[in-house]
């Protein structure tokens, strides 16, 4: 396989190198990650022009996303800070091309290099998992990185506490890879192991999405029987409770700060006494004041500073401002208003519904994994990163790219 890929044209060789390294660049630095994404997008465009292949313009999802991008450009007129929104608006185009670049190169010549791509991604994910376990046991990872926040792991991201988003974004891709190429018994062990690592990371929101995603994955995993599914589910539940009870820092984050507090004081009180509640309140008020078209990308930290968004009912009203509202739907609504929100949701729902139909026909695990990722991202009402930042958007559109790649299997 390596010999075959070395015989490809230089642009294809470069594209596959960029794809293989993509999950690694995401956990290095924003500069390297964006460079990878931009170069891959440019190589893809070069290949399409060189081969005079313009079928992409017949793809309905591409047309919808292209119209959404045009909306983003036109919506700059409504931005409260044009210069602040400009770079992020035009930068969004790279994610659209990223997804279609992945679709093209993964499905190239009847998925000729699919094994190389996904096994490379699996071993990167496995390395990240081992690295996180080492950090949990010894207090620092392989590279000597550690953070000072009790009950949290950062892995290769050093002082940035967002490795949970990466783990959530790639966990089902890694499991689908293993079940596709190797035996199911060890794959079952990996489900439990990866779930445990997801818990050890200490990010409550991402762990909720991970456990929800794994539950759906197990339910629809048709290569294991019902008894094995029941055993696996019980093992996951028991492992979760045992780890939470056994580790004081994890117990404090999940049980004392979250479950027990809500049980004693109620969800409404938790909302008013949390930083996220202050963020959400500001975002909701901003969305109401700029209902149709929002305030533009990257402008939440500017708008929320205004005195009219102060609400002393919230304990942390003085820290209501952040880089984004920490909730995906509020992030989109404040940035683009109801018009942009509906435009984007219709586009994504179209993709999900279309691929649900495809999964029924093909039973492809990669299709299943990416559908579950999109559903978990869009429908689990927990705090989240910004939809438009490089880190979160790259992971999101990678999953879309895989969906688009396996659409071609169905068509063929």
pLDDT tens, position by position, 62-120 = 999 999 999 999 999 999 999 999 999 999 999 999 999 999 999 998 899 999 999 99
| Mean of pLDDT values over 286-296 | 95
| The pLDDT of residue 370 is above 90 | yes
For position 365, what pLDDT does the model report?
Answer: 95
| The pLDDT of residue 1 is above 70 | no
| The pLDDT of residue 145 is above 90 | no
Question: How many other CB atoms sit within 10 Å of the CB of residue 293?
Answer: 18
Using alpha carbons only, give the angle 23, 26, 29 rounded to the nearest 5 degrees.
145
Mean pLDDT of the chain: 91
pLDDT tens readout for residues 107-132? 998 899 999 999 999 999 999 999 99
For position 409, what pLDDT does the model report?
Answer: 67
The residue written with tokens 């290769």 in the block is 156
Token digits of residue 286: 């901003």
| Confidence (pTM) | 0.95
Token digits of residue 360: 């029924």
| The pLDDT of residue 322 is above 90 | no
| The pLDDT of residue 141 is above 70 | yes
The residue written with tokens 């967002």 in the block is 162
Tally of domains in the chain: 1
Length of the chain: 412
Token digits of residue 26: 């995401």
Beta-carbon contacts of 193 under 8 Å, excluding residues fewer than 6 positions away, are 129
| The pLDDT of residue 20 is above 60 | yes
Position 159 confidence tier, pLDDT thresholds 50, 70, 90: confident
| The pLDDT of residue 217 is above 60 | yes
pLDDT tens readout for residues 330-368? 999 999 999 999 999 999 999 999 999 999 999 999 999
For position 3, what pLDDT does the model report?
Answer: 63
| The pLDDT of residue 224 is above 70 | yes
User: Residue 87: what are its φ and ψ, rounded to 5°?
Assistant: -60, -45
What does the alpha-carbon distance between residue 44 and residue 251 come to, in Å, rounded to a whole number? 47
| The pLDDT of residue 412 is above 60 | no
Which of 4-18, 262-276, 376-390 is predicted with the least confidence, judged by mean pLDDT? 262-276
For 296, left (φ over 0), alpha (ψ -120 to 50), or beta?
left
For position 330, what pLDDT does the model report?
Answer: 95
| The pLDDT of residue 209 is above 90 | yes
Beta-carbon contacts of 174 under 8 Å, excluding residues fewer than 6 positions away, are 121, 122, 125, 126, 190, 194
Which of 36-40, 46-50, 245-249 is predicted with the least confidence, judged by mean pLDDT? 245-249
In terms of residue numbers, what domain contains 338? 2-411
Position 266 confidence tier, pLDDT thresholds 50, 70, 90: confident
| The pLDDT of residue 22 is above 60 | yes
What does the alpha-carbon distance between residue 328 and residue 312 come to, in Å, rounded to a whole number? 24
| The pLDDT of residue 205 is above 90 | yes
Beta-carbon contacts of 51 under 8 Å, excluding residues fewer than 6 positions away, are none
């Amino acid at each position: 396989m390596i010999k075959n890929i070395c015989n490809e044209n230089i642009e294809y060789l470069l594209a596959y190198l960029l794809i293989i390294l993509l999950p690694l660049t995401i956990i290095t630095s924003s500069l390297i990650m964006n460079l990878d994404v931009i170069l891959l997008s440019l190589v893809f465009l070069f290949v399409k022009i060189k081969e005079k292949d313009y079928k992409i313009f017949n793809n309905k999802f591409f047309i919808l996303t292209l119209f959404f991008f045009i909306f983003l450009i036109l919506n700059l007129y409504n931005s409260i800070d044009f210069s602040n929104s400009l770079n992020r608006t035009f930068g969004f185009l790279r994610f659209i091309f990223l997804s279609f670049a992945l679709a093209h190169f993964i499905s190239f010549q009847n998925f000729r290099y699919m094994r190389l791509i996904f096994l490379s991604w699996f071993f990167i994910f496995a390395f990240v998992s081992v690295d996180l376990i080492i950090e949990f046991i010894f207090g620092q990872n392989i590279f000597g990185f550690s953070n000072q926040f009790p009950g949290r792991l950062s892995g290769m991201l050093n002082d940035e506490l967002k490795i949970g988003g990466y783990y959530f974004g790639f966990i089902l891709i890694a499991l689908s890879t293993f079940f596709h190429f190797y035996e199911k018994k060890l794959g079952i062990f990996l489900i439990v192991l990866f779930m445990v690592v997801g818990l050890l990371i200490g990010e409550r929101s991402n762990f909720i999405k991970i456990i929800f995603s794994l539950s759906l994955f197990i339910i629809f995993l048709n290569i294991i029987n019902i008894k094995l599914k029941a055993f696996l589910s019980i093992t996951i539940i028991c492992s979760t409770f045992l780890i939470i009870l056994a580790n004081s820092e994890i117990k404090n984050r999940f049980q004392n700060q979250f479950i027990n507090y809500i049980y004693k004081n109620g969800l409404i009180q938790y909302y008013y006494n949390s930083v996220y509640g202050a963020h959400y309140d500001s975002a909701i008020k901003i969305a109401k004041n700029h209902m149709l078209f929002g305030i533009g990308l990257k402008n939440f930290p500017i708008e929320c500073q205004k005195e009219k968004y102060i609400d002393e009912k919230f304990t942390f009203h003085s820290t209501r401002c952040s880089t984004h509202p920490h909730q995906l739907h509020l992030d989109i609504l404040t940035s683009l208003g109801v018009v942009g929100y509906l435009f984007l949701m219709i586009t994504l729902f179209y993709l999900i519904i279309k691929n649900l139909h495809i999964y029924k026909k093909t039973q492809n695990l990669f299709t299943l994994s990416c559908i579950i990722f999109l559903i978990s991202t869009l429908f689990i009402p927990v705090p989240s990163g910004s939809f438009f930042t490089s880190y979160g958007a790259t992971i999101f559109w990678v999953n879309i790219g895989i969906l688009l790649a396996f659409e071609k299997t169905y068509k063929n």
